[in-house]
């Protein structure tokens, strides 16, 4: 009788434990645009972290055409368009970007200062003096560092 009771109690407690495990919801960041996104999370716990301004990292972006640097000219500076928390290109309309920066005349890069870790799409334009044409292109960037600088080459095409 004692053994039957102990077996029954053990079985009942095991069922209760398994049921409570099955009912447990996985908590985490459920937003795929966040750098802390957890694809296994079922319910958001407020842990999502987003990119944008206010950080300590400088992103140095260089437009390149056939791997050659494009240098900003008077009236045609290299330009960088930055979309915060992007997992794909927002397109070519500057109004769809969160930050627009122009490079300096004679410079082959644009500095994007004070960035937080996050997901970004960076679109660039530059002037090719050989083809005498405006070039453009973009890249996705997952910035994980929280300080210092990072250099990114952005392929541009006619």
The domains of the chain are located at 2-44, 53-155
What pLDDT is stored for residue 76 in this prediction? 87
- Residue 117 structure tokens: 């870790």
SS3 of 22, please?
helix
Which of 144, 150, 119, 148 has the alpha carbon at shortest distance from 56? 148
What pLDDT was estimated at residue 131?
79
Q: The pTM is what? A: 0.82
> What residues of the chain score a pLDDT lower than 50?
18, 20
Look up tokens 């079922």; give the residue: 42
d(CA 107, CA 72): 6
Q: Which CATH class is domain 53-155?
A: mainly beta
pLDDT at residue 22, rounded to an integer: 53
* pLDDT the model gives residue 115: 98
Tokens of 64: 């390149």
CA atoms in the 13 A half-sphere facing the CB of 52: 7
Residue 25 has what pLDDT?
86
Q: What is the reported pLDDT for 129?
A: 81
CB-CB contact of 63 with 129 (8 Å):
no
Position 138 scores a pLDDT of 97
Residue whose C-alpha is closest to residue 158's, from 63, 83, 62: 63
């Amino acid at each position: 009788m004692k053994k039957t009771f102990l077996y029954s109690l053990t079985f009942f407690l095991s069922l209760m434990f398994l049921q409570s495990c099955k009912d447990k919801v996985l908590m985490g960041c459920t937003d795929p645009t966040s750098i802390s996104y957890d694809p296994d999370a079922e319910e958001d716990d407020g842990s999502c972290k987003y990119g944008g301004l206010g950080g300590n990292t400088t992103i140095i972006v260089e437009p390149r055409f056939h791997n050659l640097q494009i240098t900003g000219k008077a009236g045609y500076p290299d330009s960088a368009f930055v979309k915060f928390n992007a997992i794909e290109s927002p397109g070519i309309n500057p109004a769809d970007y969160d930050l627009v920066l122009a490079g300096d005349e004679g410079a082959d890069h644009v500095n994007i200062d004070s960035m937080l870790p996050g997901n970004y799409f960076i679109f660039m334009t530059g002037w090719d003096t050989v083809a005498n044409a405006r070039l453009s292109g973009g890249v996705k960037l997952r910035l994980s560092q929280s300080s210092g600088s990072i250099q990114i080459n952005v392929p541009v095409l006619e």
